[in-house]
Structure 1
Amino acid sequence: MLLQKLRESSHCKTKNTMWKEENNKLARTFEFKDFQEAFAFMCRVAFLAESQGHHPNWSNVYNKVTIELTTHDAGNTITEKDRKLAKAIDQI
């Protein structure tokens, strides 16, 4: 039942679909209907990130999820790993 909810939820309400480059990070805030949808989105991103071996810095406050991507092994700069993960997150 939980997996079905994860598949059905995560309908992002965010109008801004662009990642911003700031402070050597790709950053974006996603907004959802409620906490449950935001958390379902985070679960989906977690599985995706794990499969790519690249993990976001993120925060969640109720229905908003802010994600920052940077590559620590490259001196905390934006690399192709970050761009690839950002693109994959956009497909969720």
Structure 2
Amino acid sequence: MAVEPLSQKEIEDRLAELPGWAVEEGRLTRTFRLATHGAAAALVVHVAQVQEELDHHSDLTLGYNTVRLAVNTHSAGGGLTELDFSLARKVADLAPAHGAS
């Protein structure tokens, strides 16, 4: 099934439902802050599991107490698609359980 890029209006509407997320250089991004490096690493593992379930992967960057995600859909010419926002919603839902803000 082909994945189509979202329109600018669709992107703006979806961003309004995802506090803390932004579009930077054509990618959906967010940086989470956590209390410790261990908590940040645990969040990375949890996000990686979700990405495997969705078969859709972001760039994950682990810092001392931060986790940064950046995602777009390569098969849609690098555009943002519903897949990207689905991943973002799932991550936004699970991050608080890790103490992420």
Q: Normalising by the residue count of structure 2, what TM-score does the alignment of the two structures yield?
A: 0.72
Distance apart, 1:21 and its partner CA: 1.0
Work out which structure has the larger RCO, using CA pairs closer than 8 Å and 6 or more positions apart in sequence.
2
Q: Which runs of 4+ in 1 moved over 6 A?
A: none
What is the CA deviation profile of residues 44-74 of structure 1, one whole-angstrom value per residue up to 9, with x for unaligned ones? 1010110000001121111011100100111
1:36 match: 38
1:72 match: 74
Tell me how many residue pairs correspond in the alignment. Answer: 76
Q: Identical aligned pairs, as a percentage?
A: 33
1:7 match: none
1:51 match: 53
Q: Aligned-residue CA RMSD in angstroms? A: 0.8
Give unpaired runs (5+ residues) of structure 2: 1-18, 95-101
Distance apart, 1:82 and its partner CA: 0.1
Distance apart, 1:23 and its partner CA: 1.2
Q: Normalising by the residue count of structure 1, what TM-score does the alignment of the two structures yield?
A: 0.79
Return the structure number with greater helix share: 2
After superposition, residues 79-90 of structure 1 pair within 5 angstroms as 79-90=81-92
How far apart, CA to CA, are the structure 2 residues paired with 1:57 and 1:75? 17
